[in-house]
Amino acid sequence: MLTRILSVGLLAGLLAGLLIAALQQVTTTPLILAAETFEKPAVASATPAPPHSHAAGTAHDHGEGWKPADGMPRFFFTAITTVATAVGVAFVLMAAMVFAGAPIDEHHALAWAIAGFVACGLAPAAGLAPELPGSAAGDLVGRQLWWVGTAIATAIGLWAFLRTDHHPVVRLGAIVLLLAPHLIGAPHPHEFESKVPAEIAARFTALSLVVQALLWALVGIGVGLLWPKFAPKPAS
């Protein structure tokens, strides 16, 4: 079983990650490059900018530290990060399905992947949208804690709402879990300031969520298609 999970996770993550990395080159990466041109004048005299969220949900520091050069070096390192993220998503997806005793096929894996995107992408983005360099941000630790708490609460809430005996009390508790992080509220800066034009920031947020949704969907489809192919062969 472990060998099967490792094989399917690595292959599904590799294929999905490479496709998404290529997609990022024509969607989110040009917007990041455009945003960096607005950020550069402040970098020399200000403190390093806080990390911002990338399309696949990873954080990147655009301060004074090292970063790859534009062109192929940037694509190479972005692709590695995206593939690693996709592999991690595949392992989490399969672990959840195996733990729940759900059949792993194309349709079930895609459905679980959609739920995973809602929990880890869409719900946190309602409070902390993907951000470009130069955007104002609240306390980093507080943001990370809120993001993790929201993802866990949303996952448990979805599970309780969709996978239980539909008891009204259980469903009411699930709804409370789904709403609780947003009622508490994500940590935000006292003043919303950004050097990046609002149109670019809005496009980046929308495209980031679309790309992240596609990553989850491609991983789900890949896991569903590959899982039967790595089934143990019956003894002769």
Please give the Cα distance from 54 to 69 (Å, whole number). Answer: 17
Please give the Cα distance from 192 to 136 (Å, whole number). Answer: 6
Token pair, residue 236, equals 């002769």
Token pair, residue 184, equals 């508490």
Prediction pTM value:
0.81
pLDDT value, residue 39: 65
- Distances in Å between the Cα of 202 and the Cα atoms of 68, 129, 207 are 25, 10, 9
Please give the Cα distance from 23 to 47 (Å, whole number). Answer: 32
Q: Which helix (H) or strand (E) holds 149?
A: helix 140-163
Token pair, residue 213, equals 């949704």
Q: Where are the domains positioned within the chain?
A: 2-138+188-229
Residue 33: how many CB atoms within 10 A of its CB? Answer: 12
pLDDT in tens, the chain (236 residues): 889 999 999 999 999 999 999 999 999 999 888 888 876 654 444 444 444 444 444 444 444 455 666 677 778 888 999 999 999 999 999 999 999 888 999 999 999 999 999 999 999 999 988 888 666 666 778 889 999 999 999 999 998 888 766 678 888 888 999 999 999 988 877 666 667 778 888 899 999 999 999 999 999 999 999 999 988 777 65
Q: What are phi and psi of 52, to 5 degrees?
A: -120, 160
Residue with tokens 């990395």: 21
